[in-house]
Amino acid sequence: MAPRHRRPPREIETPSATIRYEPVVEKGSWLQSCCSWDLLVFLLLVSGACGFIVLHLYLYPTLDKMSQLPNIDPDNAPFTWGTYRPHMYFGLRTRSPFSPLFGMMWYEQPDTIQRPHIRHWCHQDDHLPGYYWYEADGRTFGRQNISDAHKGVIQTDWINEANGFAARVKLNMAKGRRYNVILYFSAQELATRFRLGKHLKDIFYGTNELLGAFTFSVHLKNGTKLNSSHSTMLTDERIPIEKYQDYIMENTQAYNAPNQPLHYLLNEKKNSEEGKFIAVQLNLGNDAEFDIVLQTEKLKAMKSEEFSNTLRSRTYNFNKKYENAFQLGGKNYTKNQLKMAKVAISNMLGSMGYWYGHNRVVFNNLIHPYGPHAFFSAVPSRPFFPRGFLWDEGFHQMLIRKMDPKMTLEVIVSWMNVMDTSGWIPREMIVGSEAEAKVPAEFIPQRPDVANPPTLFYVMDKLIHDERTISRYSGILKLLYPRLEKWFTWLRITQAGPSRTTFRWRGRNSTILSELNPKTLSSGLDDFPRASHPTDNEYHLDLKCWLALASRVLARLARSYGTEQEYQKASKAMEELNNFETLQKDHWSEEAQGFFDYGKHSKDVALAPVPASGSPRQFEYQRVASLAPTYQLVTDAFGYNNLFPLMLKMIPARSPALKATLDKIRDPEVLWTNYGLRSISKKSPYYLAKNTEHDPPYWRGYIWININYMVLSSLHHYSEQNGPHKDLAKKIFHELRTNLVTNMANQFQKTGFLWENYDDRTGQGRGCHPFTGWSSLILLIMSDNLDT
How far, in Å, CA of 527 to CA of 687, rounded?
11
How far, in Å, CA of 698 to CA of 648, rounded?
23
Q: Are 591 and 603 in contact (CB under 8 A)?
A: no
Amino acid (one-letter) located at 549? L
Per residue, what are the HEC states of 419-480? CECCCCCCCEECCHHHHHCCCCHHHCCECCCCCCCCCHHHHHHHHCCCHHHHHHHHHHHHHH
**CA quadruple 508, 696, 437, 344: dihedral, nearest 10:** 100
How far, in Å, CA of 392 to CA of 772, rounded?
11
Helix (H, G, I), strand (E, B) or coil at 684: coil
Amino acid (one-letter) located at 682? K
Question: How crowded is the C-beta side of 755, counted as CA atoms within 13 Å?
Answer: 22
How far, in Å, CA of 49 to CA of 499, rounded?
20
**Active-site residue, selected from the candidate residues 161, 404, 526, 695:** 526
The CA-atom distances, in angstroms, between 499 and each of 493, 537, 574, 633 are: 11, 9, 17, 16
Instruction: Tell me whether residue 526 is one of the annotated catalytic residues.
Output: yes
Q: Are 595 and 549 in contact (CB under 8 A)?
A: no
Among 275, 81, 140, CA closest to 196: 275
Amino acid (one-letter) located at 327? Q
Among 361, 349, 431, CA closest to 389: 431
For 93, phi and psi rounded to 5 degrees?
-165, 170
Return all residues near 438 (Cβ < 8 A) that are at least 6 apart.
87, 121, 386, 387
The CA-atom distances, in angstroms, between 500 and each of 20, 534, 567, 582 are: 6, 19, 21, 11
**Active-site residue, selected from the candidate residues 148, 289, 586, 756:** 756
Burial of 609 (0-12, 13-18, 19+ CB in 10 A): middle
Return all residues near 719 (Cβ < 8 A) that are at least 6 apart.
726, 727, 729, 730, 733
Rounded to the nearest 5 percent, the helix, strand and coil shares of the chain are 35, 25, 40
Could you tell me the maximum CA-CA distance found in the chain, to the nearest angstrom?
111
Instruction: Tell me whether residue 449 is one of the annotated catalytic residues.
Output: no
In total, the chain counts a number of residues equal to 788
Active site residues: 526, 756
